[in-house]
Protein backbone atom coordinates (compact mmCIF):
# COMPACT_ATOMS: atom_id res chain seq x y z
CA UNK A 1 0.00 0.00 0.00
CA UNK A 2 1.32 3.43 -0.92
CA UNK A 3 2.09 5.78 1.99
CA UNK A 4 -0.50 8.23 0.65
CA UNK A 5 -3.19 5.54 0.68
CA UNK A 6 -2.28 4.50 4.21
CA UNK A 7 -2.45 8.11 5.37
CA UNK A 8 -5.87 8.63 3.75
CA UNK A 9 -7.18 5.46 5.39
CA UNK A 10 -5.85 6.53 8.80
CA UNK A 11 -7.36 10.01 8.51
CA UNK A 12 -10.67 8.47 7.51
CA UNK A 13 -10.56 5.99 10.40
CA UNK A 14 -9.93 8.79 12.89
CA UNK A 15 -12.73 10.93 11.45
CA UNK A 16 -15.18 8.03 11.62
CA UNK A 17 -14.14 7.25 15.20
CA UNK A 18 -14.71 10.88 16.23
CA UNK A 19 -18.03 11.05 14.35
CA UNK A 20 -19.37 7.90 15.99
CA UNK A 21 -18.18 9.07 19.42
CA UNK A 22 -20.15 12.29 18.86
CA UNK A 23 -23.22 10.27 17.74
CA UNK A 24 -23.40 12.17 14.46
CA UNK A 25 -24.23 10.97 10.97
CA UNK A 26 -22.15 11.51 7.86
CA UNK A 27 -24.93 13.80 6.61
CA UNK A 28 -24.73 15.97 9.73
CA UNK A 29 -20.94 16.32 9.54
CA UNK A 30 -21.04 17.03 5.82
CA UNK A 31 -23.64 19.76 6.32
CA UNK A 32 -21.67 21.38 9.15
CA UNK A 33 -18.47 21.21 7.08
CA UNK A 34 -20.14 22.63 3.98
CA UNK A 35 -19.57 19.59 1.74
CA UNK A 36 -21.79 16.90 0.26
CA UNK A 37 -22.39 13.63 2.07
CA UNK A 38 -20.83 11.60 -0.78
CA UNK A 39 -17.73 13.79 -0.57
CA UNK A 40 -17.52 13.29 3.20
CA UNK A 41 -18.08 9.54 2.80
CA UNK A 42 -15.17 9.35 0.34
CA UNK A 43 -12.90 11.20 2.77
CA UNK A 44 -13.99 9.03 5.70
CA UNK A 45 -13.46 5.80 3.76
CA UNK A 46 -10.05 6.95 2.55
CA UNK A 47 -10.99 6.77 -1.12
CA UNK A 48 -10.46 10.50 -1.68
CA UNK A 49 -8.06 13.13 -0.45
CA UNK A 50 -9.27 16.45 0.91
CA UNK A 51 -7.87 19.94 0.91
CA UNK A 52 -6.56 21.25 4.20
CA UNK A 53 -9.43 23.74 4.43
CA UNK A 54 -11.95 20.90 4.03
CA UNK A 55 -10.22 18.88 6.75
CA UNK A 56 -10.24 21.93 9.03
CA UNK A 57 -13.99 22.36 8.47
CA UNK A 58 -14.62 18.67 9.17
CA UNK A 59 -12.47 18.83 12.31
CA UNK A 60 -14.42 21.85 13.55
CA UNK A 61 -17.71 20.06 12.90
CA UNK A 62 -16.42 17.19 15.02
CA UNK A 63 -15.16 19.48 17.78
CA UNK A 64 -11.55 18.63 16.94
CA UNK A 65 -8.47 20.71 16.26
CA UNK A 66 -6.26 19.88 13.30
CA UNK A 67 -2.51 20.28 13.71
CA UNK A 68 0.26 20.08 11.16
CA UNK A 69 3.34 18.39 12.56
CA UNK A 70 6.72 18.08 10.81
CA UNK A 71 7.44 14.44 9.98
CA UNK A 72 10.71 14.62 11.89
CA UNK A 73 8.76 15.26 15.13
CA UNK A 74 6.31 12.36 14.78
CA UNK A 75 8.50 9.75 16.57
CA UNK A 76 8.88 12.07 19.56
CA UNK A 77 5.13 12.67 19.70
CA UNK A 78 4.36 8.95 19.63
CA UNK A 79 6.99 8.31 22.29
CA UNK A 80 5.46 10.96 24.56
CA UNK A 81 1.97 9.50 24.06
CA UNK A 82 3.06 6.00 25.05
Domain assignment of residue 46, given as a range = 3-81
- Flag whether pLDDT at 2 surpasses 80: no
User: Of 6, 14, 2, nearest to 44 (Cα)?
Assistant: 14
- Those residues with Cβ within 8 angstroms of residue 56's Cβ, 6 or more apart along the chain or in another chain: 66
Q: Which runs of consecutive H residues, i.e. helices, occur in 1-82?
A: 3-21, 26-33, 37-44, 52-61, 74-81
* 2 exposure class (CB count in 10 Å sphere: 0-12, 13-18, 19+): exposed
Reported as a single tens digit per residue, the pLDDT across 70-79 is: 988 888 888 8
Q: Tell me the pLDDT tens digit for each residue of 7-65.
A: 899 999 999 999 999 999 999 999 999 999 999 999 999 999 999 999 999 999 999 99
Question: What pLDDT sits at residue 1?
Answer: 64
Looking at the structure of the chain, the number of domains it has is 1
Q: Residue 9 maps to which CATH number?
A: 1.10.260.40
Higher pLDDT, 66 or 38: 38
Amino acid sequence: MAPESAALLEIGRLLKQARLAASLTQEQIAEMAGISRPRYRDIETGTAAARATTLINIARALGLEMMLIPQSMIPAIFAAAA
